[in-house]
Amino acid sequence: MPLVRIDLRRGKSAAYKKAISDGVYQALREIFAVPENDRFMVVTDRADEDFIYEPKYLGIAHGPDFVILQIAVTNTRTVEQKQALYARIVELLGKNPGIRPQDVMINLIDVGKENWSFGNGIAQYV
């Protein structure tokens, strides 16, 4: 059920973008027990003028490989599970495609089960 939006600067290869989506999906499967084939992701390349972020926020220095992940999920996870997800995503993206932990911003959006329709105009989880 997660819906993942991946925003990054234009110019990265298809393999780089796939590595990000694969890493996020693996972390969601491991930590949030997302079922196989429950993969819905949008990857958006942004021109420099359309990808605006602070190079230093909260004492964290963001570099040119900065990526923003926004993940919508049902509101059934604990704070500990969310923290574990953030850590696992950063770990996996550090391995492949090699993104520094400081360059991964994650925004998790909790929504009720009634807020999902996967087609046919039906709220399948209600």
In this prediction, residue 25 carries a pLDDT of: 98
Contact 92, 21 (CB under 8 A): no
Of how many residues is the chain composed?
A: 126
Distance CA 69, CA 3 (A): 10
2 noted as active-site residue:
yes
Among residues 53, 65, 54, which one has the least CA distance to residue 90? 65
* Digit-coded pLDDT (tens) for 17-58: 999 999 999 999 999 999 999 999 999 999 999 999 999 999
pLDDT band at 1 (very low <50, low <70, confident <90, very high): confident
* Digit-coded pLDDT (tens) for 79-109: 999 999 999 999 999 999 999 999 999 999 9
Which residue among the candidates 2, 35, 97, 101 is catalytic per the annotation?
2
State the alpha helices, DSSP H only, in 9-119. 14-32, 79-95
Query: Mean pLDDT across the stretch 66-83?
Result: 97
Judged by DSSP in three states, 121 sits in: coil
* Digit-coded pLDDT (tens) for 102-113: 999 999 999 988
Judged by DSSP in three states, 92 sits in: helix
Is the domain covering 3-115 a CATH 3.30.429.10 domain? Answer: yes
What residue spans define the domains of the chain?
Answer: 3-115
In this prediction, residue 125 carries a pLDDT of: 86
